[in-house]
Amino acid sequence: MDNLAPAISPPPGLGDSKPTHQLVLDWVHEVQALTQPENVFWCDGSEKENTYLLGEAQKQGIIEKLNEEKVPGSYLHRSNPNDVARVEQFTLICTPTKEEAGPTNHWADPAETYTKLNGLLKGAMRGRTMFVVPYIMGPPDSPLAKVGFEITDSIYVVLSMRIMTRMGAVAVKRLEQSENGEWNRGTHSLLDVNPERRLICHFPQDNAIVSVGSGYGGNVLLSKKCLALRIGSYLARKQGWLAEHMLILGVESPAGKKHYVAAAFPSACGKTNFAMLIPPAHFEGWKITTVGDDIAWMKIGDDGRLYAVNPENGYFGVVPGTSYKSNPNAMKSIEHDTLYTNVALTDDRNVWWEGKDGEPPAHAIDWRGNDWTPASKEKAAHPNSRFAVPMQNNPVLDPNVENGEGVPISAIIFGGRRSDTMPLVFQARDWEHGVYIGATMGSETTAAATGAVGKVRRDPMAMLPFCGYNMGDYFKHWLKTGPRLKNPPAIFHVNWFRKGADGKFMWPGFGDNMRVLKWMIDRFEGGGGATESPIGFVPRPEDLDTADLAGMTKEKLEDLLSVKPEEWKKELETQQEFFDTLGADMPAELTAQHDKLAARFAQ
């Protein structure tokens, strides 16, 4: 078999920043002895190192340089066609008991899994370079920041980690200064990128991750879903904070009054768009800024409010559908210094994807590396093709993004992709009801994970694939957090995707979501009208500012905001089916919330 990742021979002065931390050195030696790489490259995150690795990755055909005039500083990577999304069925939580992982996770015995992984990793890096990537999640001076080390045999991983995390010396320094000495150990090997030998394993008790057999971002950038969410949620519960699959945005009024909100949506539900929203002309003077597009780490501040940091340093977003119409700020962010994966390459070495502005190119090379024309049956870009960009590329990056204490959160938004049942927006009655709304979130599935597309699945707080422990205990952690907050955020649920009888989306979404955000601000600032429905507070058509919204009628708004008892009857049943799968782990408070909701409908 061809070696997928042949060793590189760095010149003197590169790849030798070995830290002094003994536990790190011991662990690296252990993995080295097991995987037997040709050499070890200690990354320092410098520009010089990055330039060298970009050159090596090009020589090996792992990335291609794009047109320097059209997309300066940018590259294209094509993954193996068998390896294009997260693999939830092979994502394991290895806790001492199955009970700790809970019924929503794939559990495996830690000792047996280590034995299996050691078998797979034995000699796996022969003829390859083993990179050691130190990184830090969160602003380096944040009490929430966490250090991780990722060992990998993939240059693509190293290049991506440099974008997605604060990588190199800053992490080593933070570990040296840390009081508790906590750090995450992540081991990744491509092996032979064979789906039959693909496992993404988490060992929360050991603060360790082992990922083998994949080269796709969500499975191998161990900082992201693995550490920041799965291991992160486990640590958060133990340490009294929250690790959530949420974007964080700032919204500032023309008078200069600013709020921050955090929002949880399942993968590919427009999170990046919402985080970079441009308000419509009618909202002149309103400004949205991005703190984070995917993950929020939140702690309780001294004033009893919830404060959030974005643990990441970059965005790893879905490309198809991104255009100047849907998300101009994302387009500006990915115009330069971007690492693209699985998009199409045009004849002038630019990138193209379905949904990009303008006409499709007459000819391109598709994400598999084959010739493509508009007549081709296949998509040019994979539906889950991605960009990785430093957050500094974002023209609306929030000025407080590096603030280690985080930004105060005024509201939490839960949302899903639902063709029916869920009105455009409603507000929870209180924290406990809000937790229930988050716990019962459902969404029609998308291409971000392998599996069927378009089915409603329950995805509590958008954490179903990312909660590193028992979901019932996760709900209990949320329920306990509310009373610890003197000033808890208001909680809302949104659905941008409701369809009318004609099968068309009723709400334009994108920038017009500002109108919904404005209603939320009115609500938590103390104004804002609403009617109290069985499911919570729903705006009346006149409570939403729909001025200048083309094609919107009062009837359409009424339909969009309607709470239909017959739809909710079914919803309550399927929510109950999901709760039943959690069995004895379900907190009584949420079962009671379900019963109260059913009773309100029966009144």
Residues lying near Mn ion in the complex (CB under 5 A): 267, 294
Q: 21 or 86: whose CB is closer to ligand OXD?
A: 86
Q: Which residue is nearest to Mn ion (CB)?
A: 294
356 binds, among ligand OXD, Mn ion, none (CB under 5 to 8 A by kind): none
8 Å CB contact between 493 and 539: no
Partner touching 213 among ligand OXD, Mn ion, none, CB below 5 to 8 Å by kind: none
Encoded tokens for 138: 């969160």
Minimal distance in Å, beta carbon 511 to ligand OXD? 22
Among ligand OXD, Mn ion, none, partner that 90 touches (CB below 5 to 8 angstroms by kind):
none
State which of residues 294, 432, 543, 585 lies at the interface with ligand OXD (CB under 6 A).
294
- Output 44 or 294, the one with its CB closest to Mn ion: 294
Rounded to a whole number of angstroms, the minimum distance from the CB of residue 219 to Mn ion is 13
Question: Please, which residue, 86 or 515, has the CB nearer to ligand OXD?
Answer: 86
Q: How far, in Å, CA of 542 to CA of 521, rounded?
A: 16
Cβ-based nearer residue to Mn ion, 218 or 423: 218
Distances (CA, A) of 132 to 51, 172, 186: 17, 12, 10
By the 8 A CB rule, do 469 and 102 touch? yes
Pattern 418-457, binding to ligand OXD, x per CB under 6 A? ------------------------------x---------
Is 269 marked active-site?
yes
Using DSSP's 3-state secondary structure scheme, residue 521 falls into: helix
How far is the C-alpha of 235 from the C-alpha of 229, rounded, in Å?
10
Minimum CB–partner distance for residue 506 and ligand OXD (Å): 25
Side chain identity at residue 121, one-letter code: L
Nearest distance, CB of residue 410 and Mn ion, angstroms = 22
Query: What is the distance between the alpha carbons of residues 182 and 136, in angstroms, rounded to a whole number?
Result: 12
Burial class of 254 by CB neighbour count within 10 A (0 to 12, 13 to 18, 19+): exposed
Name which of Mn ion, ligand OXD, none residue 218 binds, using a CB cut-off of 5 to 8 Å depending on partner kind. Answer: ligand OXD
Closest residue to bound ligand OXD by CB: 267
Binding string, residues 84-123; x marks residues near ligand OXD by CB under 6 A: --x-------------------------------------
- Taking CB under 6 A as the rule, does residue 416 contact ligand OXD? no
Nearer to Mn ion, 134 or 218 (CB): 218
User: Which residue bears the tokens 């320092």?
Assistant: 44
| Residue 245: CB minimum distance to Mn ion, A | 6
- Give CA–CA dist 507/46, Å, rounded: 46
Q: Does 79 bind ligand OXD (CB under 6 A)?
A: no
Q: Which of 94, 201, 226, 269 is catalytic?
A: 269
Question: Which partner, Mn ion, ligand OXD, none, binds residue 215 by CB below 5 to 8 Å per kind?
Answer: none
**Residue 381 to residue 418: CA distance in whole angstroms:** 25
CA atoms of 27 and 523, how far apart (whole Å): 52
| Residue 315 touches which member of Mn ion, ligand OXD, none, C-beta under 5-8 Å by kind | none
Q: Which is nearer to ligand OXD, 246 or 397 (CB)?
A: 246
Whichever of 267 and 481 has its CB closer to ligand OXD, that residue is: 267
CB of 450 to ligand OXD, least distance (A): 11
CB of residue 473 to ligand OXD, shortest distance in Å = 22
* Residues paired with 390 in a beta bridge: 314
Binding mask 216-255 for ligand OXD (x = CB under 6 A): --x-------------------------------------
| Least spacing, CB of residue 464 vs ligand OXD, in Å | 11
Kindly give, in sequence order, each residue whose CB lies less than 8 Å from that of residue 58, ignoring residues fewer than 6 positions away. Answer: 64, 65, 75
- Residue whose CB is less far from ligand OXD, 423 or 468: 468
Q: Which does 56 bind (CB under 5 to 8 A by kind): ligand OXD, Mn ion, none?
A: none
Per DSSP, 499 falls in state B
Q: How far apart are CA 460 and CA 441, in angstroms?
A: 5
Three-class SS state of 535: coil
How many CB atoms within 10 Å of residue 415? 26
Stretch 112-171 residues interacting with ligand OXD (CB under 6 A): none
Torsion-angle region of 464 (φ positive above 0: left; ψ -120 to 50: alpha; else: beta):
alpha
- Which residues, 6+ apart, have CB-to-CB distance to 577 below 8 Å? none
- How many angstroms separate the CA atoms of 469 and 230, rounded? 8
**CB of residue 564 to ligand OXD, shortest distance in Å:** 30
Closer CB to ligand OXD, 218 or 232, in the complex: 218
Under 8 Å between Cβ of 162 and 45: yes
Q: Is 267 among the residues that bind ligand OXD (CB under 6 A)?
A: yes
Site string for ligand OXD, 23-62 (x = CB under 6 A): ----------------------------------------
The site partner of 105 among Mn ion, ligand OXD, none (C-beta below 5 to 8 Å per kind) is none
Contact 509, 516 (CB under 8 A): no
Distances (CA, A) of 145 to 165, 255, 307: 11, 33, 13
Q: How far apart are CA 411 and CA 247, in angstroms?
A: 12
**Non-local CB neighbours of 573 within 8 Å, separated by 6+ positions:** none
Q: What are phi and psi of 342, to 5 degrees?
A: 65, 30
Classify residue 216 by burial, with Cβ atoms within 10 Å: 0-12, 13-18, 19+.
Answer: buried
State the nearest-atom distance from the C-beta of 467 to ligand OXD, in Å: 13
Query: Which one of Mn ion, ligand OXD, none is in contact with 270 (Cβ closer than 5 to 8 A by kind)?
Result: none
Is 272 or 421 the residue whose CB approaches ligand OXD more closely?
A: 272
**What is the DSSP track for 267-316?**
TTSSHHHHHT----GGGTT-EEEEEESS-EEEEE-TTS-EEEE---SEEE
Catalytic residues: 269
| Contacts with ligand OXD, residue ranges (CB under 6 A) | 86, 218, 267, 294, 316, 448
